[in-house]
Structure 1
Amino acid sequence: MTTPRIGLLGTGPWARRVHAPALAAHPGVEFAGIWGRRAEAAAALAQVHRTHPYESPDELFGACDAVAIALPPSVQAALALRAAEAGCHLLLDKPVATSVPEARALAAAADRAGIASVVFFTARFGEQEGEWIAAQAAVGGWFTAHADWLGSVFAEDSSSPYAHSPWRREKGGLWDVGPHALSVLLPVLGDAEAVTATRGPADAVLLTMRHSSGAASSATLGLTAPAAASGVEVTLRGTAGITSLPRRQDGPEAAYRHAIDALLAAAETGLPNACDLHFGLRVTEILAAAEEALSPAVPRESPPLMPQGASPHGEIGRGGHQ
C-alpha cells in the first residue's frame, strides 16, 4: 500500500503551530506540500518541514490524496469545494463555513465525489474529552447542560497570535468557539430543535437550545473575556448526577493527530466519521440560526434535522473516532 499524501492549505499561526508539525510527524502520511496565499510564507514553512511549496492550490490538489486546510472559513469553503472536485479527501477546520449555502454546497460536492471528510474540533478529538463525550452519550438521561467557552483573544491585555484575525473580529466568539461547544453538546444531548441567542458584553453571546432528547442547554461564548475569567467548562446534570468535561491534558497537536487518524480510517473503510462535513454543515446551520436570533432577539426554530445517516448521535470512540 502506498502512503497517503496530504497537502496543507494555509501558513498562519494555527497552521504553523498545529497542522504542519502534526502532518510532518505523522507516521501514516506523507506531508506532500504546502500552499499559502503568501508564496514566501509557504516556502518558509515548507522548508522547515522539508516538503514542497506549491504555486497554486490546484497544483497541490493534483499531487495529493487528501488536503488539510488551515484558512479562514470564507476562504476554506471555496478551496475545499475545489479540492473535493479534484478527488481529495478533506481535513477541515471549524467552522466549515459561516454561510449555510456555502456549507451545503461543500457537503454536496463531497458526497458527489465520494471523498472522506473530517472537521477538526479540538475537544471532540482530544483523547480524554472524546472518551468523556462518548461515555455521557451512552449514559443518557441528561436534563440540562451549560458550557462556558470564553477566550481572551480580544481582551485589552491580549498577546494572542489571533488578535488580528479579521474573520474573528467580524464574527466573534459565536462562530469561533461556538463550534467547539456544539461539538460537545450535540452528541450528548441530540440535535438542536430550537435555538435562541442573546448578546452579552463585547462579543459575548448566550446561546440556548432545546435538544431532540428533551434536554435544554445553554452556552456562554466569547473571545473578549478578561484573562482571569477565560477558560472552558461544560457541566451536565441528569439522572446520573452531575459531571463535567475533563480539562485538557495535552495540547491541540495530540488532538489533531487523532483527527488525521480519523480521516485515514474514513478514507480506507468508506464509513463516514461522526465529525464529517454533514456534522460541520449542521454546526453552521445552528450558528446561523443563533446569529439570526440576535436581531431581533426572539426565539426561532432551527433548520430541519440533518439527513438520515448524518446525525450527531453517532457513537464516538477513542479520540473522537466512530
Structure 2
Amino acid sequence: MVRRPTERPGRNDEPDLPPNLFVIGLLHDLKEGGYSRHAWAAFWRASWIRSIQILEMSAELRASWLRFSVTGIVLIALSTVAVTAYFGIGQGIPFALTSVLWWGILMFDLAMHLGLMVNLESGELQQTLGWPNRLTELRGLAAVWVAWGAHWASAGVYVPLVLVFGLAAFTDLLDGWLARRRHASTRWGRLYDPFMDGLFFSVAAISLAVVGILPQWLAALVTLRYAFPIFGGITFLLIRRRTLRVRHTPWGRASSAGIALTVFAAALAAALGLPFQALAPFFYAAVGITALGAFVTILIRGIEQI
C-alpha cells in the first residue's frame, strides 16, 4: 500500500483500493458517447457480459454464492416461522415476502459483482465469499428486518427491534475485524461495506423516527451522513472517470459508532421504559459532531484526489 513519507505502517492498516481498469474503460466510452441512451445501453451491456463471464469463470466461487443464497432462504424461513408463531399469519406472510424479495435482490446483485471478490493483498480472485463479505451482506438483509422491528415496536413489542439491530450493528465491527485478521479484504467489501452501513443505519433511523422513538431531524442527518459519500463517489466516478481511493477513516468509524450507539440506546430505553430524553442530547451531540468530522474528512480526501 502507498503511504505518505511521514506515515508509518500500523497494525490496522488497510490495503489501498486499486483502480478498476475495466470500469474506467467503460466510463471513458460512456463519456465519449456523450452519456446518450445508446452509450448507457452499451455500458450496461458490457457490464452484464463481464459479470456473466466472471460468474462462469470460477465454479468454486459460484458454489459459495449458491450455498450462501440458500442459507439466507433457510434463515428467512426460520424467522418467518417465529414471526408467524408470535404475531400470526397476517404478519408472517408479508414478512416472508418482503424478506425473500429483498434477499433475492441482494443475491442477484452479489452474483453480478462476484468479479469484485478480489483480495486486495494478493490481487487474486477469491474462491469463496469469505465471512467478512457474508456478514456485510447479512447486514443488508437486516435493513428490512429492522424496519419490521420498528413496526412491531409501535405496537409495544420491542424485542425483535433491539435484537435485530444489536446483532446487525455488531456485524459492522466483526466483518472489518475478520477481514484484517484473515487478510481477506476484498474490492467488494471495501465498496459495499459503507453502502450496507448506510442502508442499514439509515433504514433503522428512519424507521425509529416514523414510530416516534427518534426525532426526524436525526434520521435525516443519518441518511445524509451515508448518502453524501455514496453519491459523491458516483459523481466523481462519472466526471473524473476513475475511482476514489475508498478507505475507512477515524471520523467515519466514530460516526458509525455514534449512530449505532444512539439508535440502540433509544430502542433499548423504549423497550425498558426508561427516560431516554434525559441523555438524548449527549447522544445527539456525539452523532452531530462525528458526522461533521466525517463530512469534512470526505471533502478533504475527495479534493486531494481530484
TM-score by length of 2: 0.29
Higher helix share: 2
TM-score (normalised: structure 1): 0.28
Write 1 or 2 for the structure with the bigger share of strand: 1
